[in-house]
Amino acid sequence: MQKELSLFVGTFTTLLAIINPLEVLPVYLQLLLGKDARTHAAVARKACLYALLLCFFFLAFGTVMLRIFGVPLSMVRVVGGIILMRIGFDLFNPPKGGGVGAAPADPNANIAFVPLAMPLMFGPGAIATIIGMTATIKQSGDQALSFVAIAAAIVLTMTVTFLCLVYADRLSKFLGPMGIDAATRIVGFFVSAIGVGLIFDGVFEALQTHGFTTVR
C-alpha cells in the first residue's frame, strides 16, 4: 500500500508541476477576453475533460504503443527526463517575448482542445510522465491498485487545474504578474529536478538490462 501511495503522490505532483495551471492562466484569459463567466466555465470544463481523456488514453495504451514501435521503457524514461528538463529550463528562464501559445486564427475554433488541452495541459512532458509511471506498475506487488493510484492522481490533477481555471480572474489579481512569474520559476526548477531523476532511473535501468550492473 505504501508503494501505491508513493506512486499516487509522485504522479500527482509531477503532472501538476508539468501542467502548471498558473502558466495556463494568462493564455486562458487572453483567449476568452470579453466572454462571460458561463463561457469561461464551459471552456475550462471541456479543456480539462479533453486533457483527462488524453491522459487515460496514454495510461491504457502507452505501453502497447511502445511495444509496437519496439521502444524500451528505459529509453522512454531518459527521453522523458530530457523533455522535462527542457520544459523546466523554459519555465525557470522563459524566452523573451514570452507567452505560451496564441489565439487561433479561426474565431469558431475549439480553443478548449487546441491550444488549452493540447499542448498546454497535455504535451510531451505529460506523455512522458504517464508512460514512465506505468513502467512502475509491473514492479509493484498489486498492479491493479497501482493502476488505480495513477488514475486517481490524474483525476485529482485535472480537478485542481479546473478549479484554477474557474477562478482564473481571482488568482491572477491575487498573485499578480510577479507572483505568477515567481511561482512559474519555482515550478520550473522542480520540473528540471524531476527530469534529472527520470534520466538517472532510465540510464540505471538500461545498464541493468544489458548486464552492466547487478542488483543487491
- Count CA within 13 A, CB hemisphere, residue 208: 13
Task: Please say if the pLDDT value at position 203 is more than 50.
Answer: yes
Highest mean pLDDT among 20-34, 48-62, 138-152, 190-204: 48-62
Work out the pLDDT band at 105, boundaries 50, 70, 90. Answer: very low
Residue 216 covered by a domain: no
The three three-digit cell numbers of residue 165, written as one number: 481555471
- Taking the whole predicted model, whether its pTM rises above 0.85 is answered as no
Q: Which three cell numbers stand for residue 101?
A: 501559445
Cα distance between residue 2 and residue 25, in whole Å: 34
Residue 199 lies in a domain: yes
Assign 119 to helix, strand or coil: helix
Is 24 part of any domain? yes
Tens of pLDDT, residue by residue over 121-133, are 987 778 878 887 8
* Cα–Cα separations (whole angstroms), residue 43 to 99, 110, 192, 197: 19, 9, 30, 35
pLDDT in tens, 5-50: 988 998 998 899 888 888 788 889 888 888 999 999 999 999 999 9
Q: Output phi, psi for 212, to 5 deg.
A: -85, -20
Rounded CA separation 167/172 (Å):
9
Whole-number pLDDT of residue 150: 93
Checking if the pLDDT of 102 tops 50, the result is no
Q: What pLDDT was estimated at residue 50?
A: 97
- Whether 151 is covered by a domain: the verdict is yes
Structural domain harbouring 199: 2-209
> For the chain, how many structural domains are there in total?
1
**Is there a domain that residue 170 lies in?**
yes
Residue 189 C-alpha from the chain's centroid:
15
> Rounded mean pLDDT of 111-119?
88
- On whether residue 214 sits in a domain, the answer given is no
Q: Which residue has the cell 483525476?
A: 155
